Amino acid sequence: MQNKTFSLLPILFAIAAGTLVAGPASFAAVHHAAKPAAHKKAAPAVNTPPPLAAQTAVAGSAPELPAKAWLLMDFDSGVVLASANPDEALPPASLTKMMTSYIVEQALRSGKLKQTDLVSVSQNAWCRGSSTESCMYLPLNSQATVIDILRGIIIQSGNDASKAIAEHMAGSEDGFAKLMNAEAQRLGMTHTHFVNPTGLPDPAHKSSARDLAILARAIIHDSVDYYPIYAEREFKYNGIKQGNRNALLYTDPSVDGLKTGHTDEAGYCLVTSSKRNEMRLITVILNTSSAQARADQTRTLLGWGFSAFEKVSPIQPNTVVTTAKVGFGKVDSVAAGLGAPWLLTVPRGQQVQTAVEIQAGLEAPVAKGAVIGKVVATSNGKPVGEAPLVAQADVERAGLLQRMWQHIAKLFGK
């Protein structure tokens, strides 16, 4: 049975450590700051950013957070509920590894990679045990399975794992960076440029809070089979057990991912996802003062989000929303309704209005389930979401004589 004292280590590690600074160095820094030796100068004060108010917010009373940029996104719609400096390109540190893991996950989904494929550890990829970077501690010239490498990237934030899979998939870190940038472009990450798969500092290596939220949303949506790894609290490899540095995984059962990051230039960063009841929210904190601060600010942002917003269903499923006219069919109209349940995230207590748009010039044949329009929801005059309208029945094309008559009737405006 595991010793109870030892089981607390991942929690302490998660609270104290940054992503690119390995645990021992972080603990040492905390110790010396608290009790500096008599013959040494005390550690310099932490440079805490000033409180940053929301520049955009769907609801009132959004918090002020001392970070260079922050953002709250609704997962279902992708709508940004509140943000400050969401498009400022900043160093993302190990948040970069979300793109590295996403590319691996999509390769596994498509069959380009298999979980049991072996990945070799080159001299370039190998971590030498330095306390200044995070490692999976893959032995030099060894091989590891893709699924172990993926866990090493996500849970242990291994620079060695990230470099090894980059070389395996693209031949080099530079080649893999091209894959990363192509994927960023596909996802609409317009303020992002990747130089490497790790997030190690480079002046050209940048991303924004909005872009990182877009990436987190893609991971949750597209990597269903692998997303549970982001919630795993620890991973043991090569006899070394390391804890996930996301402190909220240990304190908030609604949190199930995603990634921490830290370098001197990037500060302390955190991208988190939390699901409570039917609502999932994504938060991004960039460049704050400590591992504790990024956790606290995320808790504040999630607390505000879940209290300020609610899920509503403007139209119930299996409801006929409207009747659409159909040309040249055996019948001249078809019922239109929602193809799936529709939930919106809106400010708590706020009314939602809907408007229907039907495809112009709709003609038979029309298959049941075919998209024939959409319904748009607004609140306080602002769009808050839309959903497709689908045909509720088949409409067969009319026979030749009937179509001729319909043509004539159309000419005379009947």
Q: Are residues 154 and 247 in the same domain?
A: yes
List the CATH number of the domain containing 395.
2.60.410.10
State how many domains the chain has: 2
- Contact yes or no for 209/85 (Cβ under 8 A): yes
Catalytic residues: 94, 97, 157
Report pLDDT for 39. Answer: 36
- Contact yes or no for 97/157 (Cβ under 8 A): yes
Q: Does the pLDDT of residue 413 top 80, yes or no?
A: no
Q: Angle at which helices 97-110 and 159-170 pack, to 10 degrees?
A: 40
The residue from 255, 288, 309 where one domain ends is 309
- Contact yes or no for 201/192 (Cβ under 8 A): no
The residue from 309, 343, 377 where one domain ends is 309
Amino acid at 89: A
- Contact yes or no for 58/81 (Cβ under 8 A): yes
Who wins on pLDDT, 125 or 317? 125
Report pLDDT for 4. Answer: 36
Show the beta-strand stretches assigned E in 99-248.
Answer: 118-120, 143-145, 234-237, 240-243
Tell me what the mean pLDDT of segment 107-127 comes to.
97
Say if 375 falls within a structural domain: yes
Q: Does the pLDDT of residue 405 top 70, yes or no?
A: no
What mean pLDDT, rounded, does the chain reach?
A: 87
Say if 315 falls within a structural domain: no
Distances, alpha carbon 59 to alpha carbons 173, 194, 348, 384, in Å: 42, 33, 9, 12
Neighbours of 127 (CB within 10 A): 20
Q: Are residues 392 and 298 in the same domain?
A: no
Per-residue pLDDT band at 2 (split at 50, 70, 90): very low
Q: pLDDT tens digit string along 155-209?
A: 999 999 999 999 999 999 999 999 999 999 999 999 999 999 999 999 999 999 9
Q: Does the pLDDT of residue 9 top 80, yes or no?
A: no
Per-residue pLDDT band at 414 (split at 50, 70, 90): low
- Contact yes or no for 294/270 (Cβ under 8 A): yes
Tell me what the mean pLDDT of segment 117-137 comes to.
90
Q: Whose CA is closest to 161, among 199, 213, 132, 119?
A: 119
Going by the DSSP 8-state scheme, the letter that residue 135 receives in this structure is -
Who wins on pLDDT, 40 or 214? 214
Q: Are residues 335 and 293 in the same domain?
A: no
Report pLDDT for 404. Answer: 59
List the CATH number of the domain containing 297.
3.40.710.10
Sign of the Cα torsion 247, 236, 133, 41 reads positive
Tell me what the mean pLDDT of segment 215-229 comes to.
98
Report pLDDT for 411. Answer: 67
Where in the sequence is the domain holding 117, given as residue range(s)? 4-309
Q: Are residues 35 and 67 in the same domain?
A: yes
pTM: 0.82
The residue from 309, 339, 363 where one domain ends is 309
Q: Does the pLDDT of residue 32 top 50, yes or no?
A: no
Q: pLDDT tens digit string along 315-324?
A: 987 789 999 9
- Contact yes or no for 339/302 (Cβ under 8 A): no
- Contact yes or no for 98/104 (Cβ under 8 A): no
Report pLDDT for 128. Answer: 81
Who wins on pLDDT, 243 or 30? 243
Tell me what the mean pLDDT of segment 147-153 comes to.
98
Say if 314 falls within a structural domain: no
Report pLDDT for 84. Answer: 98
Report DSSP letters for 278-317, one per residue.
TEEEEEEEEEES-HHHHHHHHHHHHHHHHHHEEEE-SS-T
Q: What is the distance between the terminal CA atoms of the chain, rounded to a whole angstrom? A: 83
Distance from the Cα of residue 245 to its chain's centroid: 17
Listed range (15-24, 72-81, 155-164, 331-340) with the worst mean pLDDT: 15-24
Tell me what the mean pLDDT of segment 363-383 comes to.
91
Q: For residue 25, give the H/E element and its range.
A: helix 23-34
